[in-house]
Structure 1
């Protein structure tokens, strides 16, 4: 028994060291060397050479050019074999399924968009997956699927927007792609992508995604918190308006936050509207939209005061389609939060997400990369 435990411990240590070595090669952007990795990790040269030999044999790392001389024999640089392995990223939204082939450096090699006639059609998801698989000859390491709903392992426990309950996407995609399927809530994916781009807003944040729905990601000490039942951040269906006049939500309740502050609600658009195809800044400037935006910002700010105080998270990042509403919306949020300071809680700071709209796949791809190989594009 002790011998088996020792072997298991040795295997775990080697796996951890492999991940560390791979991360250093990835972060080195073509400049890493065996000697530099040994210095950074404190491992022996022989151990590092053994680790790199394994990564090279797996096709994840390849040798590059000779490094600059430091007085002795020039070392050989190492880089990620981005051309050999890829990730698939799938973004599922009501009426829209998008996908991308992403290499291990985070570059998009191919993208496609499929506008679905029926929201939440699983055949549309399968169709996009088939086309992505057919577009690459590289080995697919993992698949990241981003959905508006509660992701638990390979199951979508519930997605009000898609009309899904306990949908097993790994089973739905079996036979199409031979790689692990990793599901992630859309707000969590956006939060990860934003953190990769910039971490200067602190390690404790509440990322709030506003689009056709409303979701949030709770980030504590730099890590996304999933919660006891993978439902942390599910604030969209909390009632904030009450009474028979409160708007009816798709979930069946009245007055949900989503019915008040989703971008579709703020702009007076029908449910399921394709926001990507619209000039949201122009729509937000219309007089009736400006009134709804001001009212919605007041409701959202008051809700966030409570959530942020409960979590002791002072930084609010607004993502999804919210940045396209412009400075007026975030200005209303700041003003409303300042009007109602919470005693004993830190004042709230707000900013828009910095992930370019033209790179929507980065969060799902990063999640798949981290889940499969344990490494990150974040520096």
Structure 2
């Protein structure tokens, strides 16, 4: 038993060191060397050479040009083999399934969009994954799938927007690709992408995604909080309006936050409308929309005062399609939060997300990369 324990410990240490070495190569911008990795990690040159030999044999790392001379023999640089290893990133929305082939440096190689005639189905997701797999000759390292709902391992526990309950998406996609399938909630994916590229708000924030639905992700000390049952941030179906005249939500309840502050509701669009197919900014400028936007912003601010105080997370990032609403919406949110300061709680700061609109596939791809290889595109 002692020998088995020792072997297991040695294996775990080697795996951790392999991950560290790969992260240093990935973040080295093609300039990493064996000697530099040894200095950064404190490992011996022989150990580092062994680790890199394994990563090269696995096809994840390749040798590049010779580094600049520092007086002795010129070292060989190392970089990840982004050309021959890719990730598939898929975003599932009620009326639209989008996907991209993303290389290991985070760059999109190719992307596709598949619009559905009704709510997206498993067949729609399978079709997009098949098309992406056929679009690349590189090895697929992992598949990241971003869904509006509760993702728990291989299962989508529930998605009100899609009408899915306990869907084993990993099993549903088996046979299409041999790579692991990693599911991630849409707000979590957007939060991961935004956090990786921006240090404006530090390591503690609440990311609120407003699109066809409403979801949130909590980042504490740089890590996304999952919650006891992977439901942390599911604020969209909390009632905020009460009475018989409160709007009926797709979940069956009345007055849910989603029915008041989702971008589709703010613009007066039907549930599940394809926001990629409309000019959100133009619709937001209409008089009837501006009234709904002001009311929705006040409601959202009041809800976030409670959430921010409960979590002691004072920084709020508004993502999804919210940035397309422009300065008026976030201005109303800021003003309402300032009108109702919470004693003993830090005042809330707000900004729009920086990444999701320009790089929509980055979040699911980053999650798949981190879950499979243990590395990330560092800020």
Coarse TM-score class (shorter-chain normalised): over 0.9
Instruction: Determine whether 1:267 maps to 2:279.
Output: no
1:145-190 deviation digits (Å, cap 9, x = unpaired): 0000000000000000000000000111011111101000000000
1:259-285 deviation digits (Å, cap 9, x = unpaired): 000001111111121111211111111
With over 3 angstroms needed to count, the CA separation of the structure-2 counterparts of 1:284 and 1:146, relative to structure 1, is: same
Distance 1:120 1:357 in 2: 21
Contact 1:93 1:148 (8 Å CA) reproduced? yes
Distance 2:180 2:118 in 1: 27
Instruction: Determine whether 1:251 maps to 2:251.
Output: yes
Contact 2:217 2:225 (8 Å CA) reproduced? yes
Runs in 1 of length 4+ with deviation above 4 angstroms?
none
Taking structure 2 as the reference length, the TM-score comes to 0.99
Please list, as runs of the form range in 1=range in 2, the aligned pairs for 1:111-122 lying within 5 A after superposition: 111-122=111-122
| Secondary structure of the corresponding residue to residue 27 of structure 2 | helix
Instruction: Determine whether 1:137 maps to 2:137.
Output: yes
Taking structure 1 as the reference length, the TM-score comes to 0.99
> 5+ residue gaps in structure 2?
none
Distance 2:84 2:53 in 1: 16
1:350-378 deviation digits (Å, cap 9, x = unpaired): 00000152321000000000001000002
Distance 1:75 1:38 in 2: 13
| Secondary structure of the corresponding residue to residue 132 of structure 2 | helix
Instruction: Determine whether 1:186 maps to 2:186.
Output: yes
> 5+ residue gaps in structure 1?
none
Contact 2:151 2:183 (8 Å CA) reproduced? yes
1:276-327 deviation digits (Å, cap 9, x = unpaired): 1211111111111111111001100000000010000000000000000000
Deviation at 1:118, TM superposition (A): 2.5
User: What is residue 231 of structure 1 aligned with on the other side?
Assistant: 231
RMSD of aligned residue pairs (Cα, Å): 0.7
Contact 2:55 2:61 (8 Å CA) reproduced? yes
Contact 2:157 2:166 (8 Å CA) reproduced? yes
User: What is residue 83 of structure 1 aligned with on the other side?
Assistant: 83
Contact 1:266 1:293 (8 Å CA) reproduced? yes
User: What is residue 45 of structure 1 aligned with on the other side?
Assistant: 45
User: What is residue 68 of structure 1 aligned with on the other side?
Assistant: 68
Instruction: Determine whether 1:359 maps to 2:349.
Output: no
Deviation at 1:196, TM superposition (A): 1.4
User: What is residue 378 of structure 1 aligned with on the other side?
Assistant: 378
| Secondary structure of the corresponding residue to residue 193 of structure 1 | helix
1:22-42 deviation digits (Å, cap 9, x = unpaired): 000000010000000000000
Please list, as runs of the form range in 1=range in 2, the aligned pairs for 1:318-337 lying within 5 A after superposition: 318-337=318-337
Contact 1:312 1:346 (8 Å CA) reproduced? yes
- The range that moved more, 238-247 or 348-357, is 348-357
Distance 2:12 2:76 in 1: 28
